[in-house]
Amino acid sequence: MFLVWLTLWITLRITDVHARDLTYEDCVRIVAQKNPELGSAQENLRSAEESVAGAYSPFFPELSAGLSASRQSPASIYGDPLHGLNAQLRMNLFSGLRDFASIRQARARRAVAEATLDQTRARVSFLLRKAYAQYRYARENRDLAEKIRERRAQNERLVRALYENGRENKGSYLLSKALLEQAVFETRVARDQAVIASQQLAHVLGEDSFDIEPTGEVPVQTPPEGLNAADFLMETPLHRIRKAQQELAEAQASGSWSGFLPSLDLTGSTSNRSDRPLPGENRQWNLGLSLTIPLFSGLSTFREVRARSALERAATADLQATDFDILNELRQNLFSFQQSVEKWRVDLTTLEAATVRATISRKRYNNGILMFEQWDIIETDLINRQKTALISKRDRIIAESAWMQSRGKGDLP
């Protein structure tokens, strides 16, 4: 076991020397470039934008041309070949509003893709902020554990000296020795947690876990007073997704009525057939309008209209239910954010008081004014306050990050 911990200690020291310093802004840039989930959402948005542009194609004419070569019948090896050149033009003038509905559907899908990208960006940003805060906490907790171990060692030496001089009892000495052993164990645990936190951050960054060293703090903001969670409902990605899906269902429902409406097409063509490769005088052309009126489709169009109308109502109900859940989440995250800021402030204040109190009690115990039991309570309270303040600092960053994610905000560009 000793060799295992010795190897781990040497590894940590080596990585500290060769670690690559990364600020939080560096981490943001790396994630923006390497995160595959974010890249997938960006490509889906590009695809949706192309689909919107393609949805306008039915409003433009279709033009095609062809060439042909053949021999006259009866076949003869001496017969002159016939060459043909033709061009066709087709344009839909009215399609029963189906093309307008297709444009609305494409725009709704693009809105879904945009909101999904914002949702993905906010989620990845939250994972980065959380992993960075966890690693910073793990590193600071490891350093704090080292300081606590050293403080417990000093206390153990002080109590041992008093015990050997007959000024302290054996129980107090054994307790101080046990507390030192506990501090040594907690130091080992803190080192392990730092290694795990580095691996989690590296997983988010796509980097080598033993090649990075985060420097600096995650940028934080203080929640303004009088903040109302309902004011942020409309900008949340999930609301925008459900709203776009509702618009998509409405467009599909309106497009289903096109099966009851006529379709009007303009067609034109020109052709030339000659025994020479170049165009000759044998030209033909035609121009016409065709009107198609649906009379009966076996009730399939009627059923399609009813089905699409039901989906439209379902999408409206989903939007209402989702908005309720979003508001609940916004309020919870906002309250957690506000409470975490206040708790961190309170913990810092109590830590300052506990530090002064512990300094005074050490001197009083050393002078024989304070009993060991009273001094130990004050020392333990200081250590617990130090740990609590460190946890509050981490939780304050995570709570703010969760509030940002619920709003669809983040640090990624």
Q: What is the pLDDT of residue 280?
A: 53
Question: Residue by residue, what is the 3-state secondary structure of the chain?
Answer: CHHHHHHHHHHHHHHHHHCEEEEHHHHHHHHHHHCHHHHHHHHHHHHHHHHHHHCCHHHCCEEEEEEEEEECCCCCCCCCEEEEEEEEEEEEEECCCHHHHHHHHHHHHHHHHHHHHHHHHHHHHHHHHHHHHHHHHHHHHHHHHHHHHHHHHHHHHHHHHHHHCCCCCHHHHHHHHHHHHHHHHHHHHHHHHHHHHHHHHHHHHCCCCCCEEEECCCCCCCCCCCCCHHHHCCCCHHHHHHHHHHHHHHHHHHHHHHHHCCEEEEEEEEEEEECCCCCCCCEEEEEEEEEECCCCCCCHHHHHHHHHHHHHHHHHHHHHHHHHHHHHHHHHHHHHHHHHHHHHHHHHHHHHHHHHHHHHHHHHHHCCCCCHHHHHHHHHHHHHHHHHHHHHHHHHHHHHHHHHHHHCCCCCC
pLDDT at position 333 over 70: yes
**What integer is the mean pLDDT of 19-47?**
85
pLDDT tens figures, 134-143: 999 999 999 9
Q: What is the pLDDT of residue 95?
A: 63
Q: Where does the pLDDT of residue 396 fall: very low under 50, low under 70, confident under 90, or very high at 90 and above?
A: very high
Domain residue extents for the chain? 2-407
Q: Where does the pLDDT of residue 402 fall: very low under 50, low under 70, confident under 90, or very high at 90 and above?
A: very high
**Highest-pLDDT range among 286-290, 292-296, 317-321:** 317-321
Q: What is the pLDDT of residue 126?
A: 92
Lowest mean pLDDT among 186-195, 242-251, 397-406: 242-251
**What integer is the mean pLDDT of 302-320?**
82
394 or 60: which leads in pLDDT: 394
Average pLDDT, the chain: 80
**What integer is the mean pLDDT of 304-317?**
82
pLDDT at position 260 over 50: yes
**What integer is the mean pLDDT of 221-235?**
82
pLDDT at position 240 over 70: yes
Q: Where does the pLDDT of residue 1 fall: very low under 50, low under 70, confident under 90, or very high at 90 and above?
A: very low
Q: What is the pLDDT of residue 246?
A: 86
**What integer is the mean pLDDT of 183-196?**
91
pLDDT tens figures, 156-178: 898 888 888 888 888 888 988 99
Q: Where does the pLDDT of residue 275 fall: very low under 50, low under 70, confident under 90, or very high at 90 and above?
A: low
pLDDT tens figures, 81-126: 566 677 776 766 556 567 777 788 888 888 889 999 999 999 999 9
2-407 falls under which CATH superfamily?
Answer: Outer membrane efflux proteins (OEP) (1.20.1600.10)
pLDDT tens figures, 44-88: 889 888 888 877 777 667 777 766 666 655 554 444 556 667 777
